[in-house]
Amino acid sequence: MNRSIHRLLILPALLLLLTASCGQSTGGAGFTADMTQSQGTSSQTGKLFVMGDKYVMEMTEGADQIVVIVDQPANTTTIIPMVDKEYRVIPSNDMMSAMNDPIQGYKYTVDMEYGQEKMVGTETINGYECDKYTISRDSMDLMTKWVAKTLDFPIKIIAHGNPPRIMELTNITEGTIDGDKFEIPDGFTQWIDPESLPVEPPEWASGIDNAPVMTPPFEHTMNGGDIIRIKPKAGKSIAIKATSTTDAAARAKVIPFKDGRPLKQLDRYNNFAAKGTLCTRRHETAVDADEFVVHVDSGAINTTAKWLNMHEKAVAAGEEFRFSYENSDNVTCHMVNTADDEAVVIITFFKDGTPLSEDDQGLVKWRTITLKEPGEIDDRTISNKGDEVVFKVEKGSMLIKLGQFDAFEF
């Protein structure tokens, strides 16, 4: 990911404030404004352009200028780091957009029910009569905003804290905005996420076809450059432990491969062999990986491998996967989207056959997992609330793999 887009997506201070705070439609008059946010002794400025259901935010972060264009009818948010001459388009109702956009961010905050909003009166701010709103939770005000009636847009927001964050629009000028403001500049190209591209095999992978295929349980001594392969097995996950055979540190990885390529860049996988003993676990299935490749980068190791018992099931829309806890350990979950489009699953915790209350297990929205792309994977660990967990697929289809094991034991 290029530097500017990466910095934008991890929430610069200005956007973080706006995310949790704004949220009126932009159907009022067109206008421009200076946008300032401050917290304690620090402050940041930018420009805002609004016309109908489209708006543009221009922010400066260090030497970089970042432009965000939102087209509400088209449900698109375009992120443009100007120095890179690239842009990225995402759905406006996507969580990433919610993190970077005041309008969609507010909607997301309301939808997730992080607090309750109510109108508490009217006040005049910077010459505009405003409706005043608060968002509160547990009798504590989280945010206050003032929405200019004629603009139908927030012109002041306070995110209560210590110290509070304050956003305010000043120097507001009403009038038509040049349509070019809402277009991608000439000469800019669309940014492609490297994670979406096939991973090139490392040089050492040319020797994979000649490497032995081994079936757990086994013990095997390996030296620098050695490779072994393990085929995934339904209802099992692989656990591998490695001990350096000398006083020197060793470096090795367990990497899932598909069609001769690693699933991710190699630096996304931790070294599991070093001086002493370390172990790793992989939960990929035969759907998302052809084999686990164990490669020793350097040093020498004694390798021990075994299967972990798991529960695995293909689940289609309208079907459930019920799992009763076997012990007190957390539940390890590996889910693969096997549909041609997105897949959605809701996790619900039960006790004696009855769903737990939302106070005990959280809102449904927090327990809903959406895998948008075919083959997309979600790995997570969940606490074992109640005595049973149910995964119900609402859309598409998934292969779901569940199990419990002590993370500190091999």
| 17 has pLDDT over 80 | no
| 93 has pLDDT over 80 | no
Q: How high is the pLDDT of residue 1?
A: 44
Q: Kindly tell me the burial class for residue 193, based on how many C-beta atoms sit within 10 Å of its own C-beta (0-12, 13-18, 19 or more).
A: exposed
* Nearest one of 234, 281, 274, 282 to 257, comparing CA atoms: 282
pLDDT, tens digit (0-9, with 9 covering 90-100), for 281-325: 999 999 999 999 999 999 999 999 999 999 999 999 999 999 999
Q: How high is the pLDDT of residue 113?
A: 75
d(CA 221, CA 203): 22
Given a contact cutoff of 8 angstroms between Cβ atoms, the answer to whether 153 and 33 are in contact is no
CATH architecture of residue range(s) 311-404: Sandwich (2.60)
Q: How high is the pLDDT of residue 300?
A: 94
Tokens of 195: 């994670």
d(CA 122, CA 271): 59
Mean pLDDT within 191-206: 86
What percentage of residues in the chain have a pLDDT greater than 90? 60
* Nearest one of 229, 246, 217, 232 to 295, comparing CA atoms: 229
Q: How high is the pLDDT of residue 198?
A: 84
Top-level CATH class of 203-309? mainly beta
Assess whether the region 3-193 and the region 203-309 belong to the same CATH fold. no
pLDDT, tens digit (0-9, with 9 covering 90-100), for 52-79: 888 898 987 677 788 989 888 888 889 9
d(CA 143, CA 135): 5
For the chain, the structural domain boundaries read 3-193, 203-309, 311-404
15: part of which helix (H) or strand (E)?
Answer: helix 13-19
Q: Which of 30-44, 57-71, 339-353 has the highest average model confidence (pLDDT)? A: 339-353
Q: Tokens 């120095």 map to which residue?
A: 83
Query: E strands, 177-290, where?
Result: 189-190, 218-223, 227-230, 236-244, 251-258, 261-262, 277-282
Question: Residue 389's CB: how many other CB atoms inside 10 A?
Answer: 23
CATH level 3 topology of 3-193: outer membrane lipoprotein receptor (LolB), chain A (2.50.20)
